[in-house]
């Protein structure tokens, strides 16, 4: 950057961003880490939802003026951001109905790019034990939440429940629910079917609206893709977290396995999982190393599309904390063999430069 004063004297300096400045990159990591620490301290129950949209739409749409490109519309980002907004509104409405005390729900979203620059979101919803409030009654008939949604959106009975219990109709499903014969895993499966149907409905409305403005038939492309791949709706994944730890199976890509003379297996904690690509970027900047080709899209996507590494509810870092926030001091602990690191270190690793 070049600046000039009234005497036509110049100052030049490097352009500093979170992509090339060590301090700014590390500050991003510290803030994100602090927000997650505060959230996990405040909330025992957390749901992590992963959503993605298929790479069948243009990543960006060029804006032209007299045949010249003057800008771009980030189509992929716009679609998935709107989808996330609809999802958050639905969750807040689900847990903050008029008959109950309102829940203080906070959200932390980690953005992640695939190798083909497809964006997907890991959304941590703090303050709810599960996605759907099973205790609520819905509609005029005051139906069970599952029955209400399955009936309203004509959702098919999951084949897993058909095979396990022989359930063939909503009435049979209702009887099983009334008798409390379904396990937590069964209810989680039902929740996933409902959630996928809702994502599908929201996405179709978004594509219709965006398509009409851009004069592109986005909806038709999505419906053809869905039929071809035999999908119920957008791919998504749901994981429960309690007291800062995964409940049940963690995400597949949170498990790291390799062998260096002895088998080594590590499961990233929910916090480490949310920060993994921020850490990768900070490491690359700090060490000045090149990114492997297979990971380039996963790292450079943030720079290419001007995307944050993550976003979170502002109240997770109160204003006074922001003003006092400073970089941590690091103290020497000791030298260990990689496979002999104590649990208290393994469970709290922020950066791994090995």
Q: pLDDT tens for residues 195-220?
A: 999 999 999 999 999 999 999 999 99
Backbone angles phi, psi at 61, to 5 degrees: -115, 120
Q: Does 120 map to a domain?
A: yes
Q: Does 235 map to a domain?
A: yes
pLDDT tens digits for range 160-182: 999 999 999 999 999 999 898 99
DSSP label of 347: T
Q: Does 279 map to a domain?
A: yes
Confidence check: pLDDT of 345 > 80: no
Q: Does 325 map to a domain?
A: no
Q: Does 324 map to a domain?
A: no
Q: How far apart are the C-alpha atoms of 34 and 323, rounded to whole Å?
A: 13
Encoding tokens for residue 129? 């034990």
Alpha carbons within 13 angstroms on the beta-carbon side of residue 121 total 27
User: What pLDDT is recorded for position 320?
Assistant: 56
Q: Does 352 map to a domain?
A: no
Q: Does 348 map to a domain?
A: no
Q: Does 312 map to a domain?
A: yes
* Domain tally, the chain: 1
pLDDT tens digits for range 241-273: 999 999 988 999 898 876 655 567 788 999 999
The range of the structural domain enclosing residue 239 comes to 2-319+330-343
């Amino acid at each position: 950057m070049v600046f000039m004063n009234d005497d036509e004297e110049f100052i030049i300096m490097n352009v500093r961003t979170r992509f090339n400045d060590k301090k700014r990159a590390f500050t991003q990591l510290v803030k994100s880490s602090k927000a997650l620490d505060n959230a996990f301290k405040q909330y025992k129950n957390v749901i992590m939802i992963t959503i993605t949209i298929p790479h069948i739409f243009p990543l960006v749409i060029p804006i032209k003026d007299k045949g010249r490109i003057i800008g771009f519309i980030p189509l992929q980002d716009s679609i998935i951001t709107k989808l996330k907004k609809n999802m958050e509104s639905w969750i807040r409405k689900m847990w903050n109905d008029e008959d109950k005390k309102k829940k203080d729900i906070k959200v932390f979203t980690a953005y992640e790019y695939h190798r083909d620059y497809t964006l997907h979101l890991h959304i941590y919803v703090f303050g709810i034990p599960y996605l759907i409030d099973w205790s609520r009654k819905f509609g005029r008939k005051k139906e069970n939440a599952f029955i209400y949604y399955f009936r309203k959106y004509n959702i098919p009975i999951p084949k897993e429940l058909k095979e396990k219990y022989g359930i063939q109709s909503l009435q049979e499903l209702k009887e099983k629910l009334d008798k409390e014969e379904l396990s937590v895993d069964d209810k989680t499966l039902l929740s996933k079917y409902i959630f996928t149907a809702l994502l599908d409905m929201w996405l179709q409305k978004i594509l219709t609206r965006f398509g009409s403005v851009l004069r592109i038939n986005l909806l038709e492309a999505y419906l053809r893709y869905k039929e071809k791949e035999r999908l119920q709706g957008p791919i998504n994944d749901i994981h429960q977290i309690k007291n800062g730890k995964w409940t049940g199976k963690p995400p597949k890509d949170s498990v790291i396995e390799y062998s260096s003379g002895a088998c080594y297996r590590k499961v990233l904690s929910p916090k480490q999982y949310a920060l993994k690509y921020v850490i990768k970027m900070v490491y690359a900047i700090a060490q000045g190393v090149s990114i492997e080709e297979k990971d380039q899209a996963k790292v450079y996507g943030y720079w290419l599309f001007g995307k944050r590494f993550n976003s979170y509810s502002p109240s997770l870092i109160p204003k006074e904390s922001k003003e006092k926030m400073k970089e941590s001091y690091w103290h020497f602990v000791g030298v260990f063999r990689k496979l002999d690191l104590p649990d208290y270190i393994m469970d709290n690793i922020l950066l791994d430069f090995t």
